[in-house]
Amino acid sequence: MRVGIEAIAFHGPEHYVELADLAKARGVDPDKYTKGLGQIRMAVATPMEDTVTMAVNAARKVLSNFDIDPHDIGTLVVGTESGVDHSKPVAVYVHDALGLRANCHTYETKHACFGAMAAVFSANDWISCGRADGAKALIIASDIARYPIGDPGEPTQGAGAVAMVISDRPHLLQFDPEVRGHYTKQVMDFWRPLYSPTAFVDGHYSIGCYLNALEGALVDALDKATFPERYAMERLQACIYHVPFAKMAAKAHHRHFEIDAGEAIDTESERYVEVRKAFSEKTQRWLSLNAVVGNIYTGSLFLSLIDLLRGSTSDDLKQISMFSYGSGCAASMSIAYPTPGFERFRQAIDPEPELNARRKLSISEYENIIWLHDSLATGDTEELRADEWDLHGDFLYLGNHKHIRRYRGLECGICEARRSERLAASEHQH
């Protein structure tokens, strides 16, 4: 059975910060952020945008842009490391907002940035083993990445959600049914205790953990594969990675290349030219969305995938590798095959027009938003107003009343339309 991604869509906040402005405010050379880290902008969520609103808006886009009936969704999983409640999953808010059927298997997954990839694998296996009975899985990666103001991690913040429909009609991409490599190790590279709104990170150590995990997952895939040559870099037209910041993908590709070549390749060595060439052809081209959105934790690998699919054709894309990393840590290396003809969905998946329409924040506006996020997190609030935040989205967080989160825009046009169609069809039958 062919199983994979039938549909994909991104939704992010309506505001951003220019990293050159942030660098100036922090007394840092802007080149450090833009060239050293490879980041240009970072998306900033206002107090009315949270993990739930981004997940719902991305999910509505994926269902409507690809004309998928919400009634066909039999599994809904939200992968996140910045959920809104210690107990209640983001997924159940999404289930309500989309009007999904009551017997939909709904839950949340967490393993830092690996949570959504874990859910994609589970959905893939659920359908492949024949238990889905024609139903589809809706997997959403939704996160807000936050570090303390002035922290070295601050320029690697971001926010956004990627929603994907996994089914036996993989219009966009099919996963390799045979093998994927895994790696797990207890490390304290990045974590966020329950009491903290911002992450703790041992930045340089985390880079080493990421690269070790890449090696572990790739070696595992090669060991398990009946035909390990299927993983050879020369057969891959694109290699995409978890992208906490664009430069990390360059480091990842360098390590990937070394394992493939079977030798260490120093940046001073002659072969390093080959590493740079492979990086620019197979990875760098697909980092432009990540560079203007920032780290979206669970969704960042899939944002790079969107960039790849919107910018390629079936003629030049046959086989790709996907590396997912979650701090703490867990990782996977897998192979996927873009479906011939996927380019006909380019318009449906391209988020660039919306990203270009975002409003730029000054550094003081951004800092005020961060301050408000923290002050709102402690209890009941006044009702938040979309016009005060210059927001145009349908589904927004309104604040808390009696410790219950309230949202605007619960009625979903596409779900209502489908419900009426079904009702009319069943009345017609009778």
Residue 207 CB, nearest approach to ligand CAA (Å): 5
User: Quick one: 207 or 372, whose CB is closer to ligand CAA?
Assistant: 207
Residue 203 CB, nearest approach to ligand CAA (Å): 3
Among candidate residues 337, 340, 7, 9, the one with its CA nearest the CA of residue 174: 337
Among candidate residues 322, 323, 394, the one with its CA nearest the CA of residue 173: 322
Rg (CA), the chain: 21
- The tokens of 57 are what? 């808006």
Query: Can you give the binding site for ligand CAA, defined by CB under 6 A?
Result: 29, 31-32, 35-37, 113, 152-153, 156, 189-190, 201, 203-204, 206-207, 210, 242, 244-245, 247-248, 295, 297, 325, 327
C-alpha–C-alpha distance, residues 120 and 4, integer Å: 9
User: Quick one: 205 or 371, whose CB is closer to ligand CAA?
Assistant: 205
- Cβ pair 336, 120 in contact under 8 A: no
User: Quick one: 84 or 207, whose CB is closer to ligand CAA?
Assistant: 207
What number of CA atoms fall less than 13 Å from residue 341's CA on the CB side? 4
Between the CA of residue 410 and those of 118, 187, 389, 406, 415, what are the distances in Å?
28, 40, 20, 10, 11
Residue 116 CB, nearest approach to ligand CAA (Å): 12
Residue 32 CB, nearest approach to ligand CAA (Å): 3
Report the run of H or E that residue 238 belongs to, with start and end.
strand 238-241
User: Quick one: 78 or 248, whose CB is closer to ligand CAA?
Assistant: 248
Given the residues 49, 81, 108, 154, select the one marked as catalytic: 81
Given the residues 11, 14, 95, 113, select the one marked as catalytic: 113
The backbone torsions φ and ψ at residue 413, rounded to the nearest 5 degrees and listed phi first, read -50, -50
Q: Is 239 a catalytic residue?
A: no
Compute the Cα dihedral for 191, 213, 90, 303 and give only its sign.
positive
Residues 42, 43, 47: CA angle, nearest 5 degrees? 135
User: Quick one: 32 or 105, whose CB is closer to ligand CAA?
Assistant: 32
Residue 328 CB, nearest approach to ligand CAA (Å): 9
Residue corresponding to tokens 């697909």: 286
The backbone torsions φ and ψ at residue 301, rounded to the nearest 5 degrees and listed phi first, read -65, -40
Residue 147 CB, nearest approach to ligand CAA (Å): 7
Q: What angle do the packed helices 246-261 and 203-224 form, to 10 degrees?
A: 40
Q: Is 113 a catalytic residue?
A: yes
At 377, the amino acid letter reads A
Given the residues 11, 182, 242, 253, select the one marked as catalytic: 242
- Cβ pair 211, 325 in contact under 8 A: no
- Using CB positions, name the residue nearest to ligand CAA: 36
User: Quick one: 33 or 93, whose CB is closer to ligand CAA?
Assistant: 33
Residues designated as active site:
81, 113, 242
